[in-house]
């Protein structure tokens, strides 16, 4: 199997789906001539031309709405936000239009479209450019929200997302584009809503998604040296959530740490903990602990940024605590 | 074609209304738009109009009767039309329409939920919304076998609470028939965890946990007050009293209120009143009118106090609409002086008189009592010298005005007798901070104490 | 002057508004009396329908927000009379009149307003969210201005498919101040999209007069900012509406160029059901003055003066409209409430492609 970057995995998915279905087009800022702000759409303009790979003015609300309108009449737009931080300007279209169109039209207008772009913090980009939005978007009925953490998942989920007849929010890890991994070639899809047990242990469960999957794997490696074996449950999709996969693991390990990039209050982890207490109450030997970003906007200074972010040492300490080892 | 006259929703929150008075008799000819009756809503007395032409053939509701929205009150038809079936259907009519009316009232009073199993209310797999995958039932932990003893009630510890234990430890203890009170917990705060159950099982004759010296404090039964006849009387809530109770409770509950009190010098205001009185009754104004104008002008200078708290945003108003609390027979209502900053004191005075009159006769229309951006309440005429008023949400502030009275005050090192008035501003701290409120009040004071500034 | 009756018009005539293309020339006078009667009846039906809406609202049969179109009917009727069956309409929450003029069944609209299962959106959308895919009626949207980019998107899809349809987008004059308007019109012109943007300027955004909200009250002039054709129209005159819309639709269809049209109109009712038609923000006198230019009366009087309509004919037309509305009411009243299991349907579709 070829080892490629997360970025190239996404490009592969786009290329394959653009070739497969001529109703699919990619629209966003700098996606065509510039080859994409993060080079995810590199080479696609030459291959598919300006009606399929469309540069827009800086106008997130506007082109997100253009995507919604074109999906109403049967096209299958992929709307790229240069980052999800800018997509806040377009949330009316994502939340009030795309997510609700099917429902408020009594089933007449499905929204076969994808909103995608980088999410989460990078390095020293400070408060406005370092945010994880999944809990905001996962809150909304009518959307599906994918958060791939590996190149293979990025490809498989993006292809499924483009083929899905529902509006999909696709959150790519800004820090993941250069990460590498084995990616199946050709028509490889992953069902939306299916978690994956990325590491099998048995002593403790770490539930996570997106960029934090890499952190969880680091923690698992470290703990293995101390002969502590953890389950790493990668949700891959945070709406719908694969509750069954979480429950199965926690019922086995009797304890869990929930690791996410975003803030604490109403974060994804809060929802996961709720599912755990509902499904696994009598299996718990310790309160579930959440690891997340500090409850403050992202600072610029290196030391403060490090202190703010969820990371491997914090996750490791949490695992030891739920195991009554620390 | 016959036209049914039914109880209509005459205010946005109305669910039932009381027919105060019929203005047409049976046999009277009416046209669409004619006023048929007066109806008391939860806010005011409103007019019910005909929705079709014809003759009042039958009046079904009697005066004083309260009916839910949708209830048939009368029938309009041509003189010779047969209306028997409509009249005989009167019973079912109201019941059918009223649930719709209740639903139309949006969020304030959620109707008894007809939804079978909303996710947030229920447990386990039954609760999951359709798009969530949940653990299949067989994957759930096996319930204790029927033969196993039920979970033993934990023996009380010193503080009367059962021993701390993890849910898993409780389940294991129950399955293995171990008394939790016999197990020493090793977790935080003595929590019994899985490991402790396993240890206990390995050493069944473990020493009993030392029961702490139980010092359960005896609580004396509270003395009960004996009620006697005549100590109280129960008065049913009027529509307006219900509304007041709900609105004010909403206010005192979630609104983080603080209060600012100041004493205003009313000398100049007093002489202004006397001077104006000289020009005749048309020019008579009250202290309250001056206060309203002072508040209005101050608000236009301090838009930060002219605001509504709308839970997810603060709305600052560019126009100044002052709500003036008016006491009425069975409650109070707050008619609004719109654009009070652009009106003269005399205009305000005339308008307040008119609105107060309408209010006392229950003749205010909803447009006249909604839309205020800030309110003023005055109890000076009742001999109150100072009080605090409750904010009328979503407004951010209200000014409570006490009476004007002569008092000794020190001015330039000398004791003088001056006309003084105490005011207290209640501020919603989510909108107005201490200093903001104080600055605003300072401006009000400046205007009130120098009322000529309000005349120019 | 050429006037072409669309091939598929016969079907449409039965359902809703008769269509007759106007290729930019001015209206033929007396030579098509029946067509004029159809225009009149279309407007009258909307009027009678919404009068019943007001009544139903007072009875609690219609809940929530309910925005009436009364006074603005010449815009919907004039526009729909020019569109082809395969054209598209995207509109705001004041959508009853446009839905009826486009040919949506009064029964399905009333049932939707009553929140019943036979409503066009199965009772899930309500007054603000009328949709009919078969008529290209793409809603009923509730966020001011939020739907304008959608219309640009529909037009973009037309162009993407090399079609010759047109997308007409309606919104109030207050929407021109929101970012979505600017973003959508900029791209519509930049990309040569076949759209017509119709400002229904009824002079009040809820209770705020245009003069208090918009720095340049000449909202039609906004077109220039987007290098777009623009026009301002006396929208109480259904022929003037047809005239201007005819040119704009033709331009979109033939040249794939958008147009911005300001329709100067009046709303005779409050913004929604919870405010009075006059009082706090506009005077009774102003309202009464505007009601002198009732689009229905204007057309009625003109046809009467020209000997095209007798009192008897008008009375009969009115009776028919009232009967249609009574039928819609009865149908809606008899339609069941949506079953509770519908709560969770139509949240997502269970398909991929």
The predicted structure's pLDDT at residue C139: 94
Cis amide prior to A240 (ω within 30 degrees): yes
**C-alpha torsion angle, residues A69, A73, A77, A82 (rounded to 10):** 0
How far is B97 from chain C, CA to nearest CA, in Å?
Answer: 7
Number of helices (H), then strands (E), belonging to chain C: the values are 12, 8
Q: pLDDT tens, A132-151?
A: 999 999 999 999 999 999 99
pLDDT band at C171 (very low <50, low <70, confident <90, very high): very high
The predicted structure's pLDDT at residue B143: 40
The region, left, alpha or beta by phi > 0 then psi within -120 to 50, assigned to residue B338 is beta
Q: Using CA atoms, how far apart are residues B31 and B54, in angstroms rounded to an integer?
A: 6
Cis amide prior to B394 (ω within 30 degrees): yes
Residue C353 above 80 pLDDT? no
Residue B139 class from Cβ within 10 Å (0-12 exposed, 13-18 middle, 19+ buried)?
middle
A105 closest CA partner among A62, A82, A71:
A71
The predicted structure's pLDDT at residue A262: 96
B292 closest CA partner among B351, B220, B364, B358:
B351
Across B7-141, the runs of DSSP E, i.e. the strands, are 16-22, 29-30, 35-40, 45-49, 54-59, 66-68, 72-77
Contact B12 C63 (CB under 8 A): no
Contact B141 A283 (CB under 8 A): yes
Which of A138-152, B391-405, C28-42, C142-156 bottoms out in mean pLDDT, i.e. has the lowest? C28-42
Residue C24 above 70 pLDDT? no
Q: pLDDT tens, C311-322?
A: 999 999 999 999
Q: Say if B101 is an interface residue toward chain C (CB within 8 Å).
A: yes
Query: Which has more pLDDT, C41 or B132?
Result: C41
Nearest CA in chain B to A252: B141
Q: Which residues of chain A make contact with B186, given a CB cutoff of 8 A?
A: 324
Q: pLDDT tens, B409-448?
A: 988 888 889 999 999 999 988 888 888 899 999 999 999 9
Number of helices (H), then strands (E), belonging to chain B: the values are 11, 18
Which residues 256-295 of C have a C-beta within 8 angstroms of B? Answer: 274-276, 279-280
pLDDT band at B365 (very low <50, low <70, confident <90, very high): confident
Q: Using CA atoms, how far apart are residues A102 and A109, in angstroms rounded to an integer?
A: 5
Contact C279 B367 (CB under 8 A): yes
The predicted structure's pLDDT at residue C16: 55
CA A161 to chain centre: 12
Contact B140 A279 (CB under 8 A): yes
The predicted structure's pLDDT at residue A224: 95
B345 closest CA partner among B448, B265, B442:
B448
Mean pLDDT on B11-19? 78
Mean pLDDT on C320-339? 96
Which of B30-44, B81-95, B316-330 bottoms out in mean pLDDT, i.e. has the lowest? B81-95
Query: Which has more pLDDT, B31 or C296?
Result: C296
The predicted structure's pLDDT at residue B249: 62
Q: Say if A161 is an interface residue toward chain C (CB within 8 Å).
A: no
How far is A208 from chain C, CA to nearest CA, in Å?
Answer: 25
Contact A240 B133 (CB under 8 A): yes
CA A311 to chain centre: 17
Residue B408 above 80 pLDDT? yes
Token duo for residue B181: 């009170």
pLDDT band at B237 (very low <50, low <70, confident <90, very high): low
The predicted structure's pLDDT at residue B91: 56
Count of Cβ atoms closer than 10 Å to residue C275 Cβ: 18
Residue B295 above 60 pLDDT? yes
The predicted structure's pLDDT at residue A260: 98
Residues 6+ apart with CB under 8 A from B354: none
Residue C208 above 50 pLDDT? yes
Q: Using CA atoms, how far apart are residues C118 and C134, in angstroms rounded to an integer?
A: 16
β-strands B29-30, B54-59: how paired? Answer: antiparallel
Which residues 314-333 of B have a C-beta within 8 angstroms of A? Answer: none
Q: pLDDT tens, A54-76?
A: 999 999 999 999 999 999 999 99
Question: What's A98's DSSP letter?
Answer: I
Query: Which has more pLDDT, B9 or B155?
Result: B9
pTM attached to this predicted model: 0.66
Given a contact cutoff of 8 angstroms between Cβ atoms, the answer to whether B5 and B17 are in contact is no
Q: pLDDT tens, C266-312?
A: 999 888 877 777 778 888 899 999 999 999 999 999 999 999 999 99
A107 closest CA partner among B155, C349, B60, C325:
C349
The predicted structure's pLDDT at residue B310: 79
**B379 phi and psi angles, rounded to 5 deg:** -115, 15
β-strands C137-140, A196-199: how paired? Answer: unpaired
Find where tokens 């209060």 sit: B259
Residue C200 above 90 pLDDT? yes
Question: What's A325's DSSP letter?
Answer: -
The predicted structure's pLDDT at residue B248: 64
Q: What Rg do the C-alpha atoms of chain C give, in angstroms?
A: 19
Residue A244 above 90 pLDDT? yes
Across C126-216, the runs of DSSP E, i.e. the strands, are 137-140, 167-172, 195-201, 204-205, 208-209
Residue C50 above 50 pLDDT? yes
Given a contact cutoff of 8 angstroms between Cβ atoms, the answer to whether C137 and C116 are in contact is no
Question: What's B158's DSSP letter?
Answer: T
Find where tokens 């993060």 sit: A38
Most confident of B200-204, B231-235, C225-229: C225-229
pLDDT band at B161 (very low <50, low <70, confident <90, very high): low
* C interface test, pick of A71, A73, A107 with most C CB neighbours within 10 Å: A73
Residue B48 above 90 pLDDT? no
Token duo for residue B239: 């529509």
Q: pLDDT tens, C233-276?
A: 999 999 999 999 999 999 999 999 999 999 999 999 888 877 77
Q: Which residues of chain A make contact with C151, given a CB cutoff of 8 A?
A: 69
Q: How large a percentage of chain C has pLDDT more than 70? A: 91
The predicted structure's pLDDT at residue A235: 98
Given a contact cutoff of 8 angstroms between Cβ atoms, the answer to whether B367 and B224 are in contact is no
Which of B47-51, B81-85, B242-246, B334-338 bottoms out in mean pLDDT, i.e. has the lowest? B242-246
Q: pLDDT tens, A92-134?
A: 999 999 999 999 999 999 999 999 999 999 889 999 999 999 9
Residue B217 above 90 pLDDT? no
Q: What share of chain C is helix, strand, coil (3-state, %, to 5)?
A: 45, 10, 40
Token duo for residue C42: 């279309």
Q: Using CA atoms, how far apart are residues B237 and C88, in angstroms rounded to an integer?
A: 55
Angle at C253 between CA C249 and CA C255, to 5 degrees: 110
The predicted structure's pLDDT at residue B158: 44
Q: Which residues of chain B make contact with C60, given a CB cutoff of 8 A?
A: 9, 69-70, 97-98, 100-104
Q: Which residue blocks in C229-275 are alpha helix, DSSP H? A: 238-255
Residue B209 above 70 pLDDT? no
Burial A275-291 (b: 16+ CB within 10 A, else e): bbebbbebbbbbebbbb
Residue B97 above 50 pLDDT? no
Which of B449-453, C36-40, C165-169, C170-174 bottoms out in mean pLDDT, i.e. has the lowest? B449-453
**DSSP characters over B402-440:** EEEEEEEEEETTEEEEEEEEEEEEEEETTT--HHHHHHH
Q: Say if B85 is an interface residue toward chain C (CB within 8 Å).
A: no
Residue C78 above 80 pLDDT? yes
Nearest CA in chain A to C119: A106
Mean pLDDT on A46-60? 97
ipTM at complex level: 0.94
HSE at residue C306, side-chain half, CA atoms within 13 A, is 14
Token duo for residue B294: 């002072």
Question: Distances from the Cα of A210 to the Cαs of A133, B125, B200, B274, C17, in angstroms?
Answer: 11, 26, 42, 76, 53
Q: How large a percentage of chain B has pLDDT more than 70? A: 73
What is chain A's length? 326
The predicted structure's pLDDT at residue C3: 35
Mean pLDDT on B265-272? 90
Mean pLDDT on B141-150? 40
**Mean pLDDT computed over every residue of chain B:** 76
The predicted structure's pLDDT at residue C21: 57
Given a contact cutoff of 8 angstroms between Cβ atoms, the answer to whether B78 and B54 are in contact is yes
Most confident of B81-90, B218-227, B232-241, B379-388: B379-388
**Mean pLDDT computed over every residue of chain C:** 91
How far is C150 from chain A, CA to nearest CA, in Å?
Answer: 4
Residue A174 above 80 pLDDT? yes
Helix (H) or strand (E) holding B197: helix B194-202
* B interface test, pick of A138, A145, A205, A282 with most B CB neighbours within 10 Å: A282
The predicted structure's pLDDT at residue A119: 97
Q: Using CA atoms, how far apart are residues A49 and A57, in angstroms rounded to an integer?
A: 18
Q: Which residues of B are catalytic?
A: 429
Question: Distances from the Cα of A158 to the Cαs of A13, A152, B53, B167, in angstroms?
Answer: 6, 10, 65, 40
Q: Which residue blocks in A21-150 are alpha helix, DSSP H? A: 44-48, 60-72, 84-87, 91, 101-104, 134-138
**DSSP characters over A149-173:** -SHHHHHHHHHHHHHBSS-EEEEEE
The predicted structure's pLDDT at residue C22: 52
The predicted structure's pLDDT at residue C14: 38
Q: Using CA atoms, how far apart are residues C162 and B379, in angstroms rounded to an integer?
A: 74
Could you tell me which residues of chain A have a Cβ less than 8 Å from any Cβ in chain B?
A: 141, 193, 239-244, 247-248, 251, 254, 278-286, 324
The predicted structure's pLDDT at residue B395: 92
- CB nearest C63 (choices: B98, B100, B365): B100
Residue B371 class from Cβ within 10 Å (0-12 exposed, 13-18 middle, 19+ buried)?
middle
Count of Cβ atoms closer than 10 Å to residue B96 Cβ: 13
Q: Which residues of chain A make contact with C152, given a CB cutoff of 8 A?
A: 62, 65-66, 69
- The SS3 of residue A43 is coil
Given a contact cutoff of 8 angstroms between Cβ atoms, the answer to whether C70 and C268 are in contact is yes
Q: CA end-to-end span of chain B, whole Å?
A: 61
The predicted structure's pLDDT at residue C282: 87
Contact C340 B115 (CB under 8 A): yes
Q: Using CA atoms, how far apart are residues B416 and B408, in angstroms rounded to an integer?
A: 5
The predicted structure's pLDDT at residue B33: 80
The predicted structure's pLDDT at residue B136: 42
Nearest CA in chain A to C156: A70
Q: What Rg do the C-alpha atoms of chain A give, in angstroms?
A: 19
* A interface test, pick of C129, C137, C348, C353 with most A CB neighbours within 10 Å: C348
Number of helices (H), then strands (E), belonging to chain A: the values are 13, 14
Residue C95 above 70 pLDDT? yes
């Amino acid at each position: 199997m070829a080892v490629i970057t997360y970025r190239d995995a996404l490009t592969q998915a786009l290329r394959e789906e653009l070739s497969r279905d001529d109703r699919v087009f990619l629209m966003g800022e700098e996606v065509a001539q510039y080859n994409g702000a993060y080079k995810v759409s590199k080479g696609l303009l030459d291959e598919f031309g300006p009606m399929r790979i469309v540069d827009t003015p800086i106008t997130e609300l506007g082109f997100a709405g253009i995507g919604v309108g074109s999906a109403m009449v049967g096209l299958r737009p992929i709307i790229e936000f240069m980052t999800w931080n800018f997509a806040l300007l377009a949330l009316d279209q994502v939340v009030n239009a795309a997510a609700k169109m099917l429902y408020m039209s009594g089933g007449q207008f499905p929204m076969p479209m994808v909103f995608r772009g980088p999410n989460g913090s990078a390095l020293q980009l400070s408060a406005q450019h370092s945010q994880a939005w999944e809990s905001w978007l996962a809150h909304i009925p009518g959307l599906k929200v994918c958060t791939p953490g590996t190149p293979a998942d990025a490809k498989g989920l993006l292809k499924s997302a483009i083929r899905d007849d529902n509006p999909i929010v696709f959150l790519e890890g800004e820090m993941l584009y250069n990460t590498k991994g084995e990616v199946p070639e050709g028509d490889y899809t992953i069902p939306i809503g299916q978690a994956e047990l990325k590491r099998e242990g048995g002593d403790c469960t770490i539930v996570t998604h997106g960029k934090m999957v890499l952190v969880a794997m680091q923690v698992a490696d470290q703990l293995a040296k101390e002969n502590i074996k953890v389950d790493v449950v990668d949700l891959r999709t945070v709406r719908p959530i694969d509750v069954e996969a979480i429950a199965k693991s926690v019922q086995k390990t009797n304890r869990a740490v929930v690791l996410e990039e975003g803030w604490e209050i109403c974060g994804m982890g809060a929802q996961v903990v709720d599912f755990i207490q509902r499904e696994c109450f009598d299996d718990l030997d310790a309160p579930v602990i959440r690891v997340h970003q500090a409850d403050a906007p992202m600072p610029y200074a290196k030391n403060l940024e490090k202190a703010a972010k969820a990371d491997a040492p914090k996750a490791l300490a949490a695992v030891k605590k739920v195991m009554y080892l620390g | 074609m016959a036209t049914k006259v039914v109880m209509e929703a005459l205010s946005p929150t109305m669910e039932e209304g009381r027919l105060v008075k019929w203005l047409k008799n049976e046999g009277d000819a009416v046209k669409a738009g004619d006023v048929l009756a007066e109806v008391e809503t939860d806010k005011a007395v409103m007019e019910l109009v005909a929705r079709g032409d014809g003759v009042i053939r039958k009046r079904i509701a009697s005066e004083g009767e309260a009916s839910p929205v949708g209830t048939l009150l009368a029938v309009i038809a041509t003189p010779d039309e047969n209306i028997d079936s409509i009249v005989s259907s009167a019973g079912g009519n109201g019941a059918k329409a009223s649930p719709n009316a209740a639903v139309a009232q949006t969020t304030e009073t959620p109707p008894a939920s007809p939804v079978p199993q909303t996710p947030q209310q229920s447990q386990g797999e039954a609760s999951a919304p359709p798009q969530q995958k949940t653990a299949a039932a067989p994957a759930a932990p096996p319930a204790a076998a029927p033969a196993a003893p039920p979970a033993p009630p934990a023996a009380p510890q010193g503080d009367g609470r059962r021993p701390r234990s993890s849910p898993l430890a409780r389940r294991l203890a129950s399955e293995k028939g171990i008394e939790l009170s016999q197990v020493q917990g090793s977790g935080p705060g003595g929590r019994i965890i899985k490991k402790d159950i396993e240890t206990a099982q390995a050493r069944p004759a473990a020493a009993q946990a030392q029961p702490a010296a139980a010092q359960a404090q005896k609580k004396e039964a509270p003395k009960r007050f004996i009620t006697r006849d005549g100590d109280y009387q129960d008065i049913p809530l009027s529509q307006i009293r219900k509304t007041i109770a709900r609105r004010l409770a909403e206010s005192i509950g979630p609104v983080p209120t603080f209060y600012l009190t100041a004493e205003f010098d009313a000398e100049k205001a007093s002489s202004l009143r006397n001077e104006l009185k000289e020009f005749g009754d048309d020019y008579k104004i009250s202290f309250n009118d001056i206060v309203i104008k002072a508040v209005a002008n101050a608000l236009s200078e301090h838009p930060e106090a002219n605001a509504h708290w709308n839970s997810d945003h603060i709305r600052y108003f560019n126009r100044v609409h002052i709500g003036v609390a008016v006491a009425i027979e069975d409650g109070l209502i707050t008619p609004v002086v719109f654009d009070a900053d652009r009106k003269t004191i005399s205009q305000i005075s005339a308008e307040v008189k008119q609105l107060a009159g309408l209010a006392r006769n229950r003749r205010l229309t909803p447009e006249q009592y909604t839309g205020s951006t800030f309110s003023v309440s005055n109890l000076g005429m009742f001999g109150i010298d100072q009080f605090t008023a409750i904010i009328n949400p979503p407004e951010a502030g209200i000014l409570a005005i006490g009476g004007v009275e002569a008092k000794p005050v020190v001015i330039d090192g000398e004791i003088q007798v001056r006309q003084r008035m105490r005011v207290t501003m209640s501020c919603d701290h989510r909108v107005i901070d201490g200093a903001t409120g104080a600055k605003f009040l300072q401006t009000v004071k400046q205007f009130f104490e120098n009322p000529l500034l309000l005349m120019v | 002057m050429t006037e072409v009756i669309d091939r598929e018009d016969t079907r449409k005539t039965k359902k809703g508004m008769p269509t007759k293309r106007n290729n930019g020339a001015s209206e033929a006078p007396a030579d098509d009396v029946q067509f004029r009667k159809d225009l009149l009846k279309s407007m009258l039906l909307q009027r009678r329908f919404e009068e019943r809406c007001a009544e139903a609202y007072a009875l609690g049969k219609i809940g929530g927000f309910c925005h009436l179109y009364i006074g603005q009917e010449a815009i919907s009727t004039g526009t729909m009379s020019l569109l082809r069956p395969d054209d598209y309409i995207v509109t705001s929450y004041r959508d009853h009149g446009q839905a009826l003029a486009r040919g949506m069944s009064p029964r399905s609209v009333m049932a939707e307003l009553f929140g019943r299962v036979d409503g066009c959106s199965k009772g899930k959308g309500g007054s603000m969210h009328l949709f009919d895919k078969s008529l290209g009626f793409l809603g009923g949207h509730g966020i001011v201005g939020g739907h304008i980019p959608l219309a640009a998107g529909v037009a973009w899809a037309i162009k993407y498919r090399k079609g010759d349809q047109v997308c007409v987008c309606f919104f109030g004059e207050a929407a021109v101040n929101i970012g979505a308007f600017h973003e959508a019109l900029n791209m519509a012109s930049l990309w040569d999209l076949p759209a017509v943007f119709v400002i229904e300027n009824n002079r009040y955004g809820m209770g705020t007069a245009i003069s208090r909200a918009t720095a340049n009250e000449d909202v039609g002039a906004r077109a220039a900012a987007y290098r777009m054709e623009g026009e301002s129209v006396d929208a109480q005159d259904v022929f003037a509406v047809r005239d201007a819309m005819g040119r704009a639709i033709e331009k979109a269809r033939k040249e794939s160029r958008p147009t911005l049209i300001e329709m100067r109109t009046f709303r005779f009712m409050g913004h929604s059901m919870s405010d009075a038609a006059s009082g706090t923000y506009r005077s009774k006198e102003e309202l009464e003055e505007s009601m002198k230019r009732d689009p229905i009366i204007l057309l009625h009087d003109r046809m009467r003066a020209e000997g095209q309509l007798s009192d008897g004919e008008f009375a009969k037309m009115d009776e028919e409209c009232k009967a249609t509305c009574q039928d819609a009411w009865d149908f809606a009243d008899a339609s069941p409430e949506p079953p509770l299991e519908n709560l969770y349907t139509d949240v997502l579709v269970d398909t991929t492609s």
